[in-house]
Amino acid sequence: MTAVRAQPLVSQAKTQDVRIIDTDVHERAELYSLLPYLEPKWRKYITDFGWQPDRVLPYAQFAAGGLDREDAKLPDGRPGGSDYNLLREQLLDEYNIDYAVLTGWLDASALAPGWPEFKTALMSAYNDWQLENWVARDERILGSVHVNAHDPQNAAREIDRMGAHPEFVQAIVYIGDKAYGDPYYHPIFEAAARNNLPIGLHHSENSPTALGFHRYFVEWHTLVPQVFMSEIVSLIFNGVLDKFPTLQVIMIEGGTTYVPHLMSRADQQYKELRSEVPWVKRMPSDIIREQFRFSTQPTEEMSPEKFLALIDGVGSEDLFCFSTDYPHWDFDSPWEALPAGLPEGLQRKIFFENAQHLYPKMPALRAR
């Protein structure tokens, strides 16, 4: 006879007064809503010629609500993250979030590189739309500067322009199929360092696995951490972190459990092959501990002991920053995603202190 596990029917964590900085919240724009913010010369490519962002992923997101939580979609059919009031109700108020860092939807860096002028303009429009419709609307909401990474000089100018805003706390670059350690992209990292902004790297539906796109969505989603490992390896061994020693990078939506393996393997390769990349001056695991952070979502079910072993594996309590990924289907609940019973000091670091240290412009927590 099989044993039946105990099941909590009422969350205990709900009663905790946990301070939370959510480092991955997706607001969503309709293309037409960007038109007022887009230079007039570009508008006809959306209104008349039907431009749409390219999407490589060959599957449906195989969840009850598709890309979104079923309960986060709007009754009028708009996708999750389209409506401020619903986001406030389901996320900010429901979980008493102190600050939510927006990570967006439309990001040119994940798209194929062609037509950079249009996409650079579109990112500027997106940033202005984001400011007016989200960041300026709620003091708990903080913005990310979106850029077109395939136009690095203008991406740097956009970081200079929007990075000056006190409530835009990072520059974000979505991952497509390009390794961003290539010196071609360095102006972006230079601009982020110049503006004292972390860089957020976020995967996309255009991020392949190491073998491209397999037959099934479950394969692709299982292998999402691969592309994060690729980018970390690229940034480290192409010297980005040595070239910009004050730069901080947060890997968003890749989870955390791949990090110990990557540290160990990269260190071993560095010991054996360092002379190929003499511009790299520190052990990769040290670079990761000093200059990388990781948003926690999507978490995997694990015991407190296993989670603490993960912390031991990365050798630091300072690397993980809590995130929900609202409104997407693999949303992590602040009340349930982490194992119960973690040390209080570690919980504080993950839920808000690590993010406070990561983002120089993060406002102070308000008294409750």
Partner 1 sequence: MKQVVCKIDELGPGEMKPAQLGPIRVVVIRAMDGTLHGLAAKCLHQGGPLERGRLYDHTVASSDVGEYVMDSDREILKCPWHGYEYDIRTGQTVFDETRCLQTFTVREEGDEITVELGVPGAAGQAGSARASA
CB of 63 to partner 1, least distance (A): 5
DSSP 27-48: ----GGGGGGGS-HHHHHHHHT
Nearer to partner 1, 91 or 162 (CB): 91
Nearer to partner 1, 87 or 229 (CB): 87
In the 8-state DSSP scheme, what is residue 209? Answer: B
CB of 4 to partner 1, least distance (A): 4
What is the distance between the alpha carbons of residues 167 and 156, in angstroms, rounded to a whole number? 18
Closest C-alpha to 156, from 129, 127, 194: 194
Contact 57, 205 (CB under 8 A): yes
272: helix, strand or coil: helix
Nearer to partner 1, 215 or 368 (CB): 215
CB of 223 to partner 1, least distance (A): 17
CB of 303 to partner 1, least distance (A): 15
Nearer to partner 1, 47 or 222 (CB): 222
In which element (H, E) is residue 191 found?
Answer: helix 186-194
Tokens 């809503």 belong to 33
CB of 209 to partner 1, least distance (A): 18
In which element (H, E) is residue 23 found?
Answer: strand 21-25
In sequence order, the β-bridge partners of residue 202 are 174, 252
Query: Where on the chain is the footprint of partner 1 (CB under 8 A)?
Result: 2-7, 9-11, 62-65, 69-71, 215, 301, 329-333, 335-337
- ∠ CA(252), CA(161), CA(145), 5° rounding? 15
Question: What does residue 87 show for φ and ψ, rounded to 5 degrees?
Answer: -60, -40
CB of 323 to partner 1, least distance (A): 14
Closest C-alpha to 192, from 360, 58, 7: 360
What is the distance between the alpha carbons of residues 249 and 267, in angstroms, rounded to a whole number? 19
In the 8-state DSSP scheme, what is residue 295? Answer: E
Nearer to partner 1, 83 or 332 (CB): 332
Nearer to partner 1, 158 or 325 (CB): 325
Closest C-alpha to 133, from 90, 83, 75: 83
Contact 130, 27 (CB under 8 A): yes
CB of 62 to partner 1, least distance (A): 7
CB of 185 to partner 1, least distance (A): 34
Nearer to partner 1, 3 or 367 (CB): 3
Nearer to partner 1, 45 or 335 (CB): 335
Closest C-alpha to 205, from 226, 185, 176, 227: 176
CB of 332 to partner 1, least distance (A): 7
In the 8-state DSSP scheme, what is residue 70? Answer: G
Euclidean distance between the first and the last CA atom of the chain, given in angstroms as a whole number: 50
Nearer to partner 1, 68 or 151 (CB): 68
